[in-house]
Structure 1
Amino acid sequence: MNDDLRERIEREAEKHALLNAVKHESDANVGAIMGPLMGENPDFREHGDEIPGVIGGVIGRVNDLSYDEKRGRLEDLAPEELAEIEAEDEEDEHDLPSLPNAAEPGSTSPDSQARQDAEEDDEIRMRCAPNPNGPWHVGHARMPAVIGTYRERYDGWFCVRFDDTDPETKRPDLDAYDAILDDLEYLGFEPDEIFRASDRLETYYEHARELIDLGGAYTCSCSGEEFSELKNSGEPCPHRDKDVETVREEFEDMVAGEYKSGEMVLRVKTDIEHKNPALRDWVAFRMIDTPHPREEASEYRCWPMLDFQSGVDDHLLGITHIIRGIDLQDSAKRQQFVYDYFGWEYPEVVHWGHVQVDAYDVKVSTSTISALIEEGELDGWDDPRAPTLKSLRRRGIRGQAIVDAMVELGTSTSDVDLAMSSVYANNRDLVDDETDRRFLVRDGVELPLGGSPPAEANPPLHPNHEERGVREIPVGDAVLLESDDLPAREERIWLKGLGCFQYTRDTLQYTGEDIDVVREGDVDVVHWVPAAESVPVRMRTMTGDVSGQAEPEVGALESDELVQFERVGFARIDRHEDDETVAYYTHS
C-alpha cells in the first residue's frame, strides 16, 4: 500500500467515522464504518485485510473529540452529508410535519427569520375550539393531541375557546364545558387561557358595526329560499344596496331583539358572482328565539355565525396557525373577505382529513351517543361501549396512549383510520411494567383437589420484578378453572404458582412434579382461583358484562388500581360492592 492510498483511506475513514459518531451521538467503531467505506470506495477492497489496521488510529482520534468538535470537523469535511443526517434526525424527532412559516426553537432558517422580522411577536399561537354540546368522543382527541404537541414543540401558546354561539341547532350542554376541560387534562394538556364565545357577543357586535361602516355588510330580510335562488343565479339581493345608516339601524334592532327568528340577517358583502356560490354574501348574524342555556347569555337573540365569530376571535387572540378539517376549506375563504375589509393578515391554515375510529359498534358521534344515553341504551358517557374519552379513562387507558396514536396519524388531507389496537399497544407499553398480575376465572368449573398439594400458592406479583414479592393465595379443597382449560382424562396440567396436577376420577391429583414437565412441553400452564375464597367480579367490557371469580386479594385492591388478569387482559378496579367487585376491561 503506497502513501497516497494510505492517506486517501485515512481521509475517507475519518469522514465515515465522524458520520457514524455524529449520527448516533456515540463513539465510532471499525465494524460500523467498514461497510460504507468499502461501498463508496470499491478500489479499497483488495486491501481489505490491511485497512482495519490503517483506520484504527483514525477512529481513536475521532473518538477523543467532543460531540461539538466532531460535528464541526464533519461540517468542514462533508457539509452536505451532515445536513442529510440532521434532516433525518429532524424527521425521527417529530411525528408531525413542521408548521408552515414557523420557526423551530433555535432555528434561524431564512423563512423563519423573515417571519421574525415581520412580526414583533413570533410566538406560535393556536386554539382548540370545541362545540360544548357534550363530552369528547375519541375522534375529538386528535385536535388537542396535535395542538398540544405543537405547543410543546414550538414552546408556543394555545387556548380553549368554546364556540357556543348556536343555542338552538348545536345547543350547548352546560355540563360539557367542564367535561371537555376534564378530557383535555386527561390527555395531558393545560390550556394557557379559556374563553367562551357566548361571553363575547358585544365584541362581535362592535366588529359588525365597523364592518357595516366600511360598507362590507348589509341587513337582509329575504327568506332562505328567496336568497338561495338569487345566490345560485348570481343575482344581487334587493337589500344589497341599502345605505349604511339603514343597515346600521336595522342591525341595532337585531341586537335589541326586535326581530324574530328568520326575519332578518346580516350578510357579509362578498362577490355575488363568485365561482363558488357558498361564498356569495354569506350570513354573519341571524336571529334565534331559543334562549342560550347559559344564564349570562340567555338574554341575547342576535347571534353570530361561526365563520364570523371564529374569524374575529382568531385575529383578536393573535392566532398564528389554525388546524381544521378539509371540509371547512370554505370557512377560510369566507373569513378572508372579513379580514380584507379590516386589513388583517389571515393565520396559516393546515387542513386535514377526517379520522375514522374502528372497534366500536356505536357511531362515533356526540349526538348519537347522547341519544343512546337518553334512551337508556348506554349507562352514560363513560359506559365501556361508548367511544368516548371518559369511557377510555374509566377503562384504565392512559391519555398519553391516545395522544401518541393521534400524533402518529399526522396531518394528511386524506381521511385516516385510527385503529384502537394502536392505542392499546401504546397503553400496554406504558402500563405493563408497573401492573401487577392476578388470576380471574370466567364461567369457572369447580374441581376438587387431591394428593396433598401446598396449602398456599405464591405466584409472583410481576414476572419481571421479583423484588415486588409474591401473592398469597390460599388453595383450599377445590379450584375453579375456565372450561377451555379443563384437561382430558388422565392428562396433566400446571396450575400456575401451585404445581402439577393430573385429572383423575373427576379430581385434580397433585403429582409433585417440578417445572421441568412444563419446560419439556408436555403440560399446559393454566390460571385458576380457589373455589372457597375467590372474589366475585363483574368485568364491564365493550361487548357487555362478564362474570368471573378472582383470587382473594383482588377484593382488597384500591379503586382505580390497574391489574393484569393473567391470560385475560388488563382491567381497572372500579369499585367494591357488597356482593362483587366491579372492574372495567382495558384491553388484552
Structure 2
Amino acid sequence: MEDLIWKHVVLNAKKYGKPNEKAVIGKILAESPELRKNARELLERIRVAIQEFENLDDGRRNELYALYSEEKTGGKQEQGLPPLKNAEKGKVVMRFAPNPNGPPTIGSARGIVVNDEYAKMYDGRLILRFDDTDPRTKRPMIEAYDWYLEDAEWLGAKVHQVVYASKRIDLYYDYAAKLIEMGHAYVCRCARDEFKRYKDAGLPCPHRERSAEENLEDWEKMLDGAYDEGEAVLRIKTDMAHKDPAVRDWVAFRIINSDHPLVGAKYIVYPTLDFESAVEDHELGVTHILRGKDLADSEKRQRYIYEYFGWEYPVVKLWGRVKIHEFGKFSTSTLRKDIESGKYSGWDDPALPTVRALRRRGFRAVAIRNFLLSLGVGENDVSVSLKNLYAENRKIVDGVARRFFFVWKPVKLEIEGLDGEVEVNLPVHPSKDMGVRILRANRAIYITEDDCRNFDGKEVRLKGFCNIRIENGKAVYLGDEIESAKKGRNIIHWLPEGQVIEGEVITPEGIVEGLFESNAAGAEGEVVQFERYAFCRIERAGERITAIYTHP
C-alpha cells in the first residue's frame, strides 16, 4: 500500500505541482478497489505521505518523478497529444491566431507549441495569423509582430505562413458585399440599446428586411465615412429567436475612427474577430482549430457564414484555460498599463509571465515546450504550479550549469588563528569533470548574514576550505579535517575578501544585492548555479555582475 500511495502522490505532484489528497485517493481506489474497506486509514497515510513529499528538497523530488514515471508505471509514460478527429497525414492545417497587443505570454506559448506539435504529428502546416483588426480596444503593438515570430521560432515552432488580417481587409469587404447581395447581411442603424431591446425580445429591428440594394448603398456610405462611430454596423442575419441571444444577428463590421499601427488610416470600417476569423479559416484551408472553451459561441455565429457560402467548417477542439499559481490572473492589456506606469521594467521583467521574461531568466525552450505539452488539451481547466516548469528546466541545466558562490547580505568575518593564504580548489560541477575553480583564501572572508545568525555558537565548515566556530559575529579557526564537519551538516559557502565582485540578482520579487565569486565573471550569458541559492542567468559581468533569477 505504501508504494501505491507514494506512486500516486508523486505522479499527482508532477502533473499539478502540489499533490491533492482527494485526487490521490481516487486514483488509488480505481487501481485497487479492495482498499475501499480501509479508506479512512488510507486517507491518513496519504496525508502523511503528502506532508513528507512536500518536505523533500528538489533533488529528491526529481529522483522520485523519474522513478515513478518510468519504473513504477511499467515503462516510460505515454507522451504526445491525443489524435485529432478526421485528421489525415499531409492534409492537416493548423493555425495560431493571436492579437499582437503585447508579446507572447506563457498562455500564448501554449497555443504556439500545441498547434505546432499537431502540425508536425500529421506532416501538416502551421499558419501564424495576426488577428489585428481592433485598432483601439486591443490596439496592436508594432513591436509585438516581430516578437511573436521570434518567440515562435525560439520555441521550436515551424511556421509555414504568416498572415496579417489588417492587410487583408479588402478581402473581407468583398465577402461582406456578397452576403448583402445574397440577403444574408444588412446595415443596422439602431442605437446599441435599441437593438438590445429587439434582440432580448427575439424581434427583428426595422432595418432587417430592407432590400439588398438599400443595404449595399448604406454599406458604401459606411465605407465612405458618411456615418460616425456607432451610427451604423453590418449585421449577419441569423435567427432572432435563437436560444442564445449572443448569436442573434451579430455584428460583422463596425466603424472605428482610429489609425492602425500597421495600415495607418487606410480603413475606418473594421471586421469583428468572428467575421475575419471565419473568412480566413476558409481562405487559408484550416482543417482543425484549437479554441478556448470560453469562445465556444464563435462557432455558433460563424457557422451561419459557412452555411450561406456552402463551406465546410473546420474540426474544432475546445480546451480549458491554464492557470499558473504564481502568476494568478493577468491580461496583456493590464500588463501593458503596469509597464507604462513603471511597475515593471519592461516586457522581459522577471516577474512577468511572458516568453521574453522566461528567456531572459534562462529557461530553455525545450523545457517550456515539454511543460506546455504535459498540460494536455482537455476541456477541463488546469491549475498548475511553476514548480513543474522548474523541474523540466532543471533536468536540462543541472548537468551543464557551472557552480559558483554568491553571498547575499554579506557579513565580513576575521578568522582568528588562521595565518597565511590558502589556495582552495573547488569543483566547477559536483558530479561531472568540468575542471576546478580557485579561491585564494585568507583570514578575511564573507558569509551571509543568515548563516552568521543561524550558526552562532556552532561549528561550521567553509566548503572546501576549513572549519570554524562562529561566536558573536566572530570566527575561530578549528582546523581543516573534513570529519569535523559532522558528516556534511552545517557546510556553508563563503568568499575571500580579495576575490569578490559586487552586484545583484534580479528576482520576480525584487533585487537581491550581494557579492559574487569573481570566477563567475567568465560565465556571462550562461545559466549557472549559485550554491545554496538558485540557478541564475548571468546577464552582465564586468565591474559589477547582474544575474537574473531562473529557479531554485
Q: Which bin holds the TM-score, normalised by the shorter protein?
A: 0.7 to 0.9
Kindly indicate whether the alpha-carbon contact (under 8 Å) linking 2:418 and 2:442 is maintained by their aligned counterparts in 1: no
Kindly indicate whether the alpha-carbon contact (under 8 Å) linking 2:446 and 2:494 is maintained by their aligned counterparts in 1: yes
SS in 1 for 2:198: helix
Q: What residue in structure 1 maps to residue 492 of structure 2?
A: 526
Q: What residue in structure 1 maps to residue 96 of structure 2?
A: 128
| AA matched with 2:409 | D
CA-CA distance at 1:502 after TM superposition = 3.8
1:72-117, Cα deviation, whole Å (9 max, x unpaired) = xxxxxxxxxxxxxxxx9999443422111124x5xxxxxxxxxxxx
Q: What residue in structure 1 maps to residue 167 of structure 2?
A: 199
| AA matched with 1:584 | I
SS in 1 for 2:437: coil
Change (3 A) 1:577 1:463: closer
Q: What residue in structure 2 maps to residue 288 of structure 1?
A: 256
Q: What residue in structure 2 maps to residue 60 of structure 1?
A: none
Q: What residue in structure 1 maps to residue 355 of structure 2?
A: 389
Q: How many residues align?
A: 478
| Aligned with 1:366 (options 320, 329, 332) | 332
| Aligned with 1:455 (options 405, 414, 422) | 422
CA-CA distance at 1:577 after TM superposition = 5.5
Q: What residue in structure 1 maps to residue 532 of structure 2?
A: 567
Unaligned runs of 5+ in 2: 1-72
Distance (Å, rounded) in 2 between the aligned partners of 1:305 and 1:490: 71
Distance (Å, rounded) in 2 between the aligned partners of 1:326 and 1:493: 57
Kindly indicate whether the alpha-carbon contact (under 8 Å) linking 1:165 and 1:305 is maintained by their aligned counterparts in 2: yes
Q: What residue in structure 2 maps to residue 586 of structure 1?
A: 550
1:211-246, Cα deviation, whole Å (9 max, x unpaired) = 122221111111111111111111111111111112
Unaligned runs of 5+ in 1: 1-87, 106-121
TM-score, normalised relative to structure 2 = 0.82
Distance (Å, rounded) in 2 between the aligned partners of 1:488 and 1:283: 69
Question: Is 1:182–2:182 an aligned residue pair?
Answer: no
Q: What residue in structure 1 maps to residue 10 of structure 2?
A: none
Distance (Å, rounded) in 1 between the aligned partners of 2:385 and 2:83: 25
1:131-187, Cα deviation, whole Å (9 max, x unpaired) = 011112222221112112212222221111100111121111111111222222232
**Identical-residue share of aligned pairs (%):** 43
Distance (Å, rounded) in 2 between the aligned partners of 1:266 and 1:236: 14
Larger Rg: 1
1:463-485, Cα deviation, whole Å (9 max, x unpaired) = 1112x110011213311111232
1:35-83, Cα deviation, whole Å (9 max, x unpaired) = xxxxxxxxxxxxxxxxxxxxxxxxxxxxxxxxxxxxxxxxxxxxxxxxx
Kindly indicate whether the alpha-carbon contact (under 8 Å) linking 2:516 and 2:545 is maintained by their aligned counterparts in 1: no
Distance (Å, rounded) in 2 between the aligned partners of 1:505 and 1:221: 82
SS in 1 for 2:170: helix
CA-CA distance at 1:508 after TM superposition = 3.7
Q: What residue in structure 2 maps to residue 6 of structure 1?
A: none
Q: What residue in structure 2 maps to residue 261 of structure 1?
A: 229
Kindly indicate whether the alpha-carbon contact (under 8 Å) linking 2:463 and 2:491 is maintained by their aligned counterparts in 1: yes
Distance (Å, rounded) in 2 between the aligned partners of 1:314 and 1:276: 24
| Aligned with 1:320 (options 281, 287, 306) | 287
Kindly indicate whether the alpha-carbon contact (under 8 Å) linking 2:406 and 2:531 is maintained by their aligned counterparts in 1: yes
| Aligned with 1:416 (options 382, 387, 394) | 382
Kindly indicate whether the alpha-carbon contact (under 8 Å) linking 2:419 and 2:443 is maintained by their aligned counterparts in 1: no
Kindly indicate whether the alpha-carbon contact (under 8 Å) linking 1:257 and 1:300 is maintained by their aligned counterparts in 2: no
| AA matched with 1:392 | L
Q: What residue in structure 2 maps to residue 70 of structure 1?
A: none
Q: What residue in structure 2 maps to residue 250 of structure 1?
A: 218
Distance (Å, rounded) in 1 between the aligned partners of 2:237 and 2:82: 37
Q: What residue in structure 2 maps to residue 405 of structure 1?
A: 371
CA-CA distance at 1:506 after TM superposition = 6.2
Change (3 A) 1:521 1:192: same
Distance (Å, rounded) in 2 between the aligned partners of 1:553 and 1:440: 11
Map 1:105-504 to 2 at 5 A. 123-294=91-262, 296-360=263-327, 363-449=329-415, 450-452=417-419, 455-466=422-433, 468-486=434-452, 491-503=458-470
Change (3 A) 1:90 1:431: closer
**447-456 vs 565-574, greater mean Cα deviation:** 447-456
Q: What residue in structure 1 maps to residue 8 of structure 2?
A: none
Change (3 A) 1:393 1:425: same
1:520-555, Cα deviation, whole Å (9 max, x unpaired) = 537521111112321112100011100111111123
Q: What residue in structure 2 maps to residue 94 of structure 1?
A: 79
Change (3 A) 1:89 1:183: farther
CA-CA distance at 1:190 after TM superposition = 3.3
1:550-585, Cα deviation, whole Å (9 max, x unpaired) = 111123332x2111000101001111364x211111
CA-CA distance at 1:289 after TM superposition = 1.1
| AA matched with 2:301 | R
| AA matched with 1:151 | A
CA-CA distance at 1:452 after TM superposition = 3.8
CA-CA distance at 1:285 after TM superposition = 0.9
1:310-346, Cα deviation, whole Å (9 max, x unpaired) = 0000001000010111111110010000000000000
Q: What residue in structure 1 maps to residue 484 of structure 2?
A: 517
Q: What residue in structure 2 maps to residue 112 of structure 1?
A: none
| AA matched with 2:218 | E
CA-CA distance at 1:248 after TM superposition = 1.6
Q: What residue in structure 2 maps to residue 12 of structure 1?
A: none
